[in-house]
Amino acid sequence: MPLGSDRSLGAKRDLKSNHKGGLRSALGQHGGPLSGMEISKRIAARLALALPLLVTGCDNGPQTYPAGGTVKYRDGTPLAGGRLVFQLDGAAIAPTARGMIGPEGDFQLSTFGKADGALPGEHRVMIVPPAVPQAEGWEEQFLTSGKGRRPQLSTGPQLHPRYRSFESSGLSFTVTKSKKENQFQIVVEQQ
């Protein structure tokens, strides 16, 4: 068919009108940019479709089980402060459970929400120690001690540094479905 024939021009015209129709629906009813009202309608339609999911939630996440316990030194003194991290053994991508250690050494684990527990299975544990407390009056001692002298640290027990890593802590605990079995008594050594 020759390029200038009526049939070839008609085919080109059909392609153009289809193309414009596609653009018209993407840009708006009259081929211009979407109006604020059209944008609002589209957002409302999408929200209406998503609302049932938002209201019911996505309850398909992994099941956690309540877990907690205490952290104490061998002499029975509680580790006052710091935090624990439980990592599912052999699962580098699984979420970790975390817990703040209270003044009496007590803790509750949280994975997705407050005190929701941990995933079931064997966990490696590391402990991030509390900040090293300073002896009473350390500020004044620091200001008057002269250069090069550090203020005296508290004489309270300090957590051994090996607990700061999963690999070196030597701590491992199994989280089960039983709340009673998930109360861990963790005994640590001083530095």
Residue 20 inside a domain? The answer is yes
Asked whether residue 170 falls in the same domain as residue 128, the answer is yes
Q: Are residues 95 and 51 in the same domain?
A: no
| Same domain, yes or no: 74 and 31 | no
Q: What is the pLDDT of residue 18?
A: 46
Query: Residue written as tokens 């929200």?
Result: 47
In a domain, 126, yes or no: yes
- 77 lies in which domain range? 68-188
In a domain, 62, yes or no: no
- At 26 the pLDDT is 45
The C-alpha atoms of residue 152 and residue 130 are separated, in whole angstroms, by 17
CB 33 within 8 A of CB 147: no
State the pLDDT at residue 108: 97
Q: What is the pLDDT of residue 46?
A: 61
Does some domain include residue 180? yes
Number of structural domains (the chain) is: 2
- What's the pTM? 0.59
Is residue 162 in a domain?
yes
Is residue 120, in this structure, part of any structural domain at all? yes
In a domain, 12, yes or no: yes
- Where the chain has pLDDT below 70, the residues are 1-35, 40-60, 132-156
* Helix or strand holding residue 183 (H, E): strand 183-188
